Structures are given as structure tokens and as C-alpha cells.
Amino acid sequence: MTDTIASLSAYDDASLDQAFRGLTDEVRGAAAQLSTAETQENFRLDWLGRKQGRLKLLSESWLKTAPPEAKKSLGMRFNALKNEIEAALAVEPAGTKSTGPSIDLSLPGIRRNIGLEHPLTRTMREMTAVFAALGYSVGVGPEVESDFYNFEALNFPPNHPARDTQDTLVVADQDTKPLRERLLMRTHTSPVQIRSMIESAPPLRIVIPGKVHRNDESDATHSPIFHQVEGLCVDTNITFSDLKGTLDYAMKAFFGSSVKTRFFPSFFPFTEPSADVQISCPFCGQKGCRKCKYSGWIELLGCGMVDPAVFAAVDARRIENGLEPAYDTKKISGFAFGMGVERIAMMKYGVGDIGQFYSGDLRFLSQFV
């Protein structure tokens, strides 16, 4: 078939235009005759065949033998001719049916599943909303805290067991720093209470949801990472009765109006007096079930009146920051409370292993629609 390819006698633009014009006319004339799939395939093999296609022969006869200065202009015309051939092949011959993919409009569409809130996120949001309805603002703070905010300002003595690395995840290479400046993963969201009081004078009402970290072994009821919701109320004439009324209302709003609360003396370094709060089992109506261990009551949270030592530490830091002291215990008082989100979520949704919340197993998480 090489004898069908004429040799080029000159490589100037006029000669090249004339040579390629003839080939283009030939392509267009043949393309006009493509009426069946068979003629289209013959046309393709004639021009684009890998072994004896005319474009391959043109490349060997013209491009490879052309002088270097003519290769660019020759190559441009060669590509234009190839585009002309491919355009002719792209047109479907009349009377043929497309073999490409088609859309069946009778099939149902593909619906993307909408993401759902994680059960812990939902529980934390619902708990926060209860206190937001009481006029509490939401407070946030860093998860990496200094010893001052996490322990010292909250009246933890230097030798308190909670400061030990067996209980607290301490950031490495902190031994050379003063104790109050050493960094650790916060063990509760209480540091946000301290930060809020340092930044703002009373009255103050905040609810603090967030992630906390402790050096606990993972088991069915413990995890080194978990979540808390804490609250703080500081104003004039705040009493323990205000604390009891607030928590009683919150528990009824969250678990139902039939829920009762009762308070037992307890101890926390940052509150005095302190109390543990139990609620009547909302699942069995105090008849006794597995969730309340057949006692009719569930211990849910801790609370108490803010210890004057905490207010003193806050005012001392405010003075260090160039602010006026604002927490005179002769004029103001306050209460604080805190509860674990996982414990409430496990109780509410009947989950027996805290690790399931962190497994990422969609079979488990998709139940909470």
C-alpha cells in the first residue's frame, strides 16, 4: 500500500497545504458514504489501521523523512487530518442503534443516606439544651490544660492522688516547669469554669460540654476518653436550694416529669458542701430493673456549692492578669455540677459496653435514628 502514498517534492507551506487538502477532501468524501457500521469500520481500518492504515504510512513516508525545519508545520497538518478522520468516525451512521450505556428511567434513583448524629453527640446536645433553656450559655476550652486550671485553682492539694500519672495523662517533658505550669490532658471540663470566672465577673451561668481524658484501662464501663457536661452558676444569694431546684428541673426535662431526685452528702475538693445526686429509675418507675440494679434509683452526677478557696484562686489570677477582683465570698456564692455523657447515653439507649460508642461500627451506630 506504500505505492498509494505520493512523495512530497517540497516542504513549503503552499506545497504542504495542497498535499493535505487532497487528503482532507478524500476523507470527507469517504465519510459522506458511511451509511452502515460495516462501512464505518472499513473506513477506520483504511485510515487508522495499526499496521497498514494510511495515517501510519503517511507518518513513515512524510514525517520521518522530512527535514527538521519542516517537521513542525508538517506535524500540525498531520494532526488536523487525524482530527478530521476521528470526527467522521464519531458520527453514528444513519439506521444504526447506539451500543453505549443508556439510562433506564423506570429504575429508582440512588438515594444518598443522610448522616446521623452520634449517640454521644446527641445526648450531649440534648443535655446542653436543657440548661440553655434555663439561661445558661455554653462554655468551651482547650483539652490540653495546665496544672493550675485543672487542679490548683480547683483546690486540689499538691499531693492529691488525682495528680498522679496513674490517674492523669501528663504531657511529656514537663518536669522542669513549675507545677502549676505543667501541661496535661484535662481530666474534667471544670477548667473552663475557672477560665470563665477569670474572664468574666458575676453573674455567671454556663454549661460546659466536652471531651476529657483519664488514665483508665478500657473495659465495659471505662474509657481513657469520655465526655462530661458540667455547669456553673455564680451570683448573689445563690443557695443549695437553688442547686437542688435547678437539677431537679433538669432531670425532669431530660428523663420525664415523673422522675424524682435525691441528694446524699459527698466530697469534692472544689465544692463545699458536696452531694451525689440520684434519680428515680425512669425505666421501671422504681419497681426495680437491671438498669437501676433493682434498687429503683440511679446515681447520676455530683454537685455542690463552690468552695470559697476556688473563688480566692480565681481572684488571685484576675489580679495577676490586671483585672479587679470580683468574687468576694461575702457578696457572691455559686454552685457547680457535673455528669458523664457516656453513662447517661448507655442508660438511655441500653448499651452495655462503652467501647461500642468508639468502635465506628455502622451496624451499631445506625440503630440510633
User: pLDDT at position 3, please?
Assistant: 45
Residue 100 maps to a domain? no
Domain identity same for 174 and 245: yes
Domain identity same for 67 and 129: no
Note the maximum CA span of the chain: 113
**Cell triple for residue 150?**
485543672
CB count in 10 Å sphere of residue 336 = 26
Give me the DSSP letters along 180-239: GG-EEE-SSSHHHHHHHHHHSPSSEEEEEEEEEE------SS--SEEEEEEEEEEETT--
pTM of the model: 0.68
Domain identity same for 143 and 45: no
Domain identity same for 37 and 131: no
For every one of its 369 residues, what pLDDT tens digit does the chain have, with 9 covering 90 and above? 344 577 777 888 888 888 888 888 888 888 888 888 888 888 888 888 887 788 888 888 887 888 888 888 888 888 888 888 888 888 776 555 555 566 777 777 777 777 788 999 999 999 999 999 999 999 999 999 999 999 999 999 888 888 776 788 999 998 899 999 999 999 999 999 999 999 999 999 999 999 999 988 888 888 999 999 999 999 999 999 999 999 999 999 999 999 999 999 999 999 999 999 999 998 888 888 888 888 999 999 999 999 999 999 999 999 999 999 999 999 999 999 999 999 999 888 888 889 999 988 888 888 886
Number of domains into which the chain is organized? 2
The whole-angstrom separation of Cα 305 and Cα 314 is 15
Range of the domain at 304: 119-365
Residue 59 maps to a domain? yes
- Residue 166: give its domain's CATH number: 3.30.930.10
Domain identity same for 19 and 160: no
In terms of Cα–Cα distance, which of 155, 154, 229 is closest to 191?
154
Domain identity same for 70 and 162: no
Domain identity same for 145 and 264: yes
Omega before 119 cis (within 30°)? no
The DSSP code for 59 is: I
The whole-angstrom separation of Cα 143 and Cα 165 is 17
The DSSP code for 258 is: T
User: Three-state SS for 316?
Assistant: helix
Residues with Cβ within 8 Å of 78's Cβ and at least 6 positions away in sequence, in order, are 20, 55, 58, 59, 62, 63
The pLDDT tens digits of the residues spanning 93-137 come to 655 555 556 677 777 777 777 778 899 999 999 999 999 999 999
The pLDDT tens digits of the residues spanning 142-152 come to 999 999 999 99
